[in-house]
Amino acid sequence: MNNFTSILEGRNLKIQIGNTVILDVPEIRIQAGEFLSVIGHNGAGKTTLLKMLCCLMKKPKEGEILFKDRTIGSECSLMEYRRKVTMVFQEPLLFDTTVYNNVASGLKFHGIEHSDINAIVMENLERFGISHLKGRSAWTLSSGEARKTSLARALALKPEILFLDEPFASLDPLAKDILYSDLERVLPKSGLTVVFATHDYGDVLRLSHRVAVMENGKIIQIEDPDTVLKHPANSFVSSFYRLNRT
C-alpha cells in the first residue's frame, strides 16, 4: 500500500504551544478504502491528529490538508469537505432526543429530503441491530447501545472518510468485542476510508491495513501491522506492542 493515490493528505501539520510540540507530522497520506489505525499512549497526539485531519481545529499555522489532491480551504471549501467526512468521538455525544432522531440529525444538517431520511435511518439502525430502539430516548441507552447509535448516525451520512477517536473506550470487554464485530461486518461492505485512533492495539489489529504509531505528537512508524510487529522502529513501538499484547 505504499504507491497509492491518496484520498487525504496532510503536509507539515504542526501545532506548538510555547515550547511544547502538540503535533508535528511532516506528511501523512491515507488511501481510499484504507483502514488506518493510529495508536499511542494517552497524550501522544492521536486525537489532535484526527481533529486536524477532520478540519475540526483552527487552520494550522503551518501545513495544509488535501482531500483528493485539492487543498482544503482554497480548492475545496471547508463545508464541502466536512460534508464528505465525519467523526465519532470517545463519548457518544448523542442529542437529547430519540435514537431515530439522533441518526436522522446529520441527514437533516445535510439537507437530505425528508422522504429519503426514513429509509436511510432504518437501514443504519438495522445495520447495527438497534432498530427496536428507534423510539427510545438517547438518555435511556446503555453505553454499548449509545456507541452503536453514534456509529449509525455517522455511517448514515455515507461519509468518504470516517474518523473514529477511541469510540469504544470505557466499554466492558464483551460490549467492545460486539462493536468490533459490528465494525468488521459493516465496514468492508461500505468501502469507506477509516482513521481509527486507539491506545488499545490488540482489538483493532484485525481491521487495520496500516498502523501509525504516535509519540509526543509525532508519527514514529507507519506501516502494515505485521511489519510494525516484526520490525518495530524503536523500543517505544516494541514496548507498546508488548504491553498491549500481554
Partner 1 sequence: MDLIIEGIVKAFLLFFSLDSEVIGITLFSLKVSGIATLISLFIGISLGTAVALIRFPGKKIVVSLINTGMGLPPVVVGLFVTIFLWRNGPFGFLEILYTPSAMIIAQAIIATPIVMGITLASVQQLPGKLRLQIIALGATRLQMVWTLIKEAKLPLLAAVMAGFGGVISEVGASIMVGGNIKGYTRVLTTATVMETSKGNFDIAIALSIILLVMAFLVNLILTFVQQRKRPS
Q: Which is nearer to partner 1, 82 or 209 (CB)?
A: 82
Q: Which is nearer to partner 1, 89 or 168 (CB)?
A: 89
Joined together, the cell numbers standing for residue 115 give: 422522504
Task: Select from 36, 49, 87, 99 the one that contacts partner 1 (CB under 8 A).
Answer: 87
- Would you put residue 36 in left (φ > 0), alpha (ψ -120 to 50) or beta? beta
Sheet arrangement for strand 85-88 = 85-88, 161-165, 193-198, 35-39, 210-215, 218-223
The Cα–Cα gap between 212 and 233 comes to 11
CB of 237 to partner 1, least distance (A): 29
Q: Which is nearer to partner 1, 149 or 221 (CB)?
A: 149
77 binds partner 1 (CB under 8 A): no
Q: Which residue has the cell 505485521?
A: 226
91 binds partner 1 (CB under 8 A): yes
- Part of the chain binding partner 1 (CB under 8 A), chosen from 9-17, 80-88, 124-132, 210-218: 80-88
CB of 83 to partner 1, least distance (A): 4
H/E run at residue 71: strand 70-71
Tell the burial category of 189 from Cβ atoms under 10 Å away from its Cβ (0-12, 13-18, 19+): exposed
54 binds partner 1 (CB under 8 A): yes
Joined together, the cell numbers standing for residue 65 give: 490538508
Q: Which is nearer to partner 1, 94 or 183 (CB)?
A: 94
44 binds partner 1 (CB under 8 A): no
Which residues, listed in sequence order, are joined to residue 13 by a DSSP beta bridge?
Answer: 25
CB of 154 to partner 1, least distance (A): 8
Task: Select from 2, 139, 173, 189 the one that contacts partner 1 (CB under 8 A).
Answer: 139
The Cα–Cα gap between 118 and 120 comes to 6
Binding site for partner 1 (CB under 8 A): 51, 54, 56, 79, 82-83, 85-87, 89, 91, 93, 95-96, 105-106, 109-110, 137, 139-140, 153-154, 157, 163
